[in-house]
Amino acid sequence: MTDYRGIFADGLWRNNVVFAQMLALCPLMAVTSSATNGLGMGLATTAVLLTANIVIASLRHLIAQEVRIPVFILLIASLVTLADMMINAWLHELYKVLGLFIPLIVVNCAVLGRAESFASRQPVLASAADGLAMGLGMTLAMVAIGGCREILGSATLFAQASLLLGDGFAFLETTLIQDYKGFLLMLLPPGGFLVLGFLLAGKRVMEQRRERVKSAAAAVAGQAGSPTN
């Protein structure tokens, strides 16, 4: 029985691609100057992660250990090429926003990482779940970082979301401060590192606090349970 709950907990939080594994930082810094870009890149990567995991898990018995890396790279690169062509042809508005970054998914080590550490050893369904969970976790991280940078850098949130998701999502576009002068540093790569650093610290603090509560509870339980003289 596969532990799907565990797979999703890993992907979204415990073993998050960005916040725990610290992978995929190159595309992350490049695209997350706004929440919308982060969302688009995250979703495109999720699609590639999901299909790469499925393909590699279904071929896992055929793939010889010695040549697995070139085989994985071939498969991932061709999936990305396919995604690039299809987005260009049928989701052209999205392509205009993300076009330059789609080929970058190939060098996103998270995709190869999941192929190597999960999909090459697990059944297809579990691998699909893992790809989806890891991709969504990464999307979450990219939207969080993009959102912070966008708010601090240009005082908007989800600007141009309708370009990415269709006009139905225009309500997402918010301007927080009119005539904001802009905080350029946040939109440049250093801003990405700063925001990532603060978010990582925040995650660490939350986990430590939870740990402390847990151990305190355990201590209380231990005291209550121990015989008193």
Partner 1 sequence: MIGERLTPETRQTVGYHVALLGGVALLVSAVIGIADALTRADIAQRQLEDLQATLQQVVPAKYYDNDLVRDVVVVQDGGRALRVYRARRDGEVRAVSFQVSAPGYGNTAMLIVLGIDRAGTLLGVRVVSHSETPGLGDKIETRRSDWILGFDGRSLNDPPPAGWGVKKDGGAFDQFTGATITPRSVVHAVKSGLEFFAAHRAELLDESPTLLPSPRAEVGMREPQP
Shortest reach from residue 170's CB to partner 1, in Å: 16
Report the SS3 class of residue 175. strand
Q: Which of residues 130-189 bind partner 1 (CB under 8 A)?
A: 182, 184, 187-188
Nearer of residues 96 and 204 to partner 1, judged by Cβ: 96
Question: Tokens 């401060």 identify what position?
Answer: 177
Q: Are 10 and 110 in contact (CB under 8 A)?
A: no
Residue 39: both structure tokens together: 């969302």
Torsion angle (degrees, nearest 10) of CA 75, 43, 15, 200: 130
Q: Which of residues 185-224 bind partner 1 (CB under 8 A)?
A: 187-188
Nearer of residues 1 and 64 to partner 1, judged by Cβ: 64
Rounded distance between C-alpha atoms, residue 111 and residue 225, angstroms: 48
Rounded distance between C-alpha atoms, residue 51 and residue 76, angstroms: 9
Shortest reach from residue 206's CB to partner 1, in Å: 32
Shortest reach from residue 75's CB to partner 1, in Å: 7
> Looking at 2, 4, 6, 74, which residue binds partner 1 (CB under 8 A)?
74
Q: Which of residues 90-109 bind partner 1 (CB under 8 A)?
A: 90, 92, 95-96
- Concatenated DSSP letters of 145-173: HHHHHHHHHHSEESTTHHHHH-GGGGGG-
Stretch that binds partner 1, among 24-32, 64-72, 110-118, 198-206 (CB under 8 A): 64-72
> Looking at 22, 26, 82, 213, which residue binds partner 1 (CB under 8 A)?
82
> Looking at 67, 179, 227, 229, which residue binds partner 1 (CB under 8 A)?
67
Torsion angle (degrees, nearest 10) of CA 54, 57, 61, 64: 100
Rounded distance between C-alpha atoms, residue 123 and residue 136, angstroms: 20
CA angle 222, 223, 225 (to 5 degrees): 65
Shortest reach from residue 58's CB to partner 1, in Å: 9
Question: Judged by CB under 8 A, does residue 63 bind partner 1?
Answer: yes
Stretch that binds partner 1, among 73-81, 112-120, 168-176, 193-201 (CB under 8 A): 73-81
Largest Cα–Cα separation, the chain: 78
> Looking at 5, 61, 167, 229, which residue binds partner 1 (CB under 8 A)?
61
Residues forming contacts to partner 1 in the complex (CB under 8 A) are 33, 60-67, 70-71, 74-75, 77-78, 81-82, 85-86, 88-90, 92, 95-96, 182, 184, 187-188
